[in-house]
A = this chain, B = another copy of it.
């Protein structure tokens, strides 16, 4: 019997989850749920119903795991605890400072309901977090570095779009290659924000807009750009559509640690991702962990979980015997 998945929210991430379910022979997309008018939504999976979110009131017997594809600012803090009262759920909550609170909220509801609620899943938080934890657990005397990119930051692209005279923007975060190499060498450099990443913006301006003023507004924007070296390019709508329609991303977690008498031996652990599509990869991580949620819950486990709490074998559709024989 297939694991029956529901997707709540059908933006880029929801479509990424849908794509990953198609590649998972042990899973079935049961329905897509939306807060929009369902009749306006066309999804990629034929024969799968699009339903109003309110239908989730009564579908406990039809959905094994609900993958919640909402925003961290306002959607997930409300939705994940709410749906954990009826479903095994999983989200990609990434507001760092609020993880403890979100975890506690989901844990309480999920435990009462006897369900699993996996939070903060994806690649960062997610696979990058895992690699930080494995590395520092193995080499307690060490230091971790995270570099992001080259990739599109949606938050930074949105911030630029809010500037007067900007019609569209795509912002790329780019790691500084010399700094990455210094870290890889094991020299444990101290790096400022500016030394770690640069930012590059491709901007479509409104006709007649003051491009010098836009460039100035971008480069001096606090939090988003002021602490970085930023390059701004003005391009046409056609160039934007032709050259910047993808959502690539990636990055590296690099950990250097020492062992031995006098710590004379250095070890470098590097985990890196180069992703053509950030939402499709994130969706694929969510789907693998949805499998884990289902299987752990079948064993009677409940409550809030993160990637730290989940044994890797739960992610694979293969049996323990098969993974030991072929992948150990």
Residue of B nearest to A186 (CB): B274
In the complex, the answer to whether A277 meets B261 with C-beta atoms within 8 Å is no
Question: Copy number in this complex?
Answer: 2
Tally of chain A residues near chain B (CB < 8 A): 69
What residue of chain B has the Cβ atom nearest to residue A291's Cβ? B137
A139 within 8 A of B: yes
Q: Say yes or no for A316: interface residue by CB 8 A criterion.
A: yes
Question: Could you tell me if B280 and A306 are in contact, using CB atoms closer than 8 angstroms?
Answer: no
Q: Which residues of B contact A8 (CB under 8 A)?
A: none
Provide the residues of chain B in CB contact with A310, threshold 8 Å.
311-312
- How distant is A295 from chain B, measured CB to nearest CB, in Å? 12
Residues in B whose Cβ lies below 8 Å from that of A136: 316, 327
Contact, CB under 8 Å: A133 / B261? no
Interface string of A276-309 (1 = CB under 8 A from B): 1100110111001001000000000000001111
Chain B residues, CB < 8 A from A307: 312, 328
Which residues on the B side are within 8 Å of A268 (C-beta)?
A: 272-275
Shortest Cβ gap from A174 to chain B (Å)? 17
Q: Can you sample 28 A-B contacts with CB below 8 Å?
A: A19-B260, A23-B139, A23-B259, A100-B321, A100-B325, A125-B328, A129-B327, A130-B134, A131-B271, A133-B312, A134-B315, A137-B291, A137-B317, A138-B281, A138-B285, A265-B280, A267-B273, A268-B273, A268-B274, A268-B275, A269-B273, A270-B272, A307-B328, A308-B323, A308-B324, A308-B327, A310-B311, A311-B311
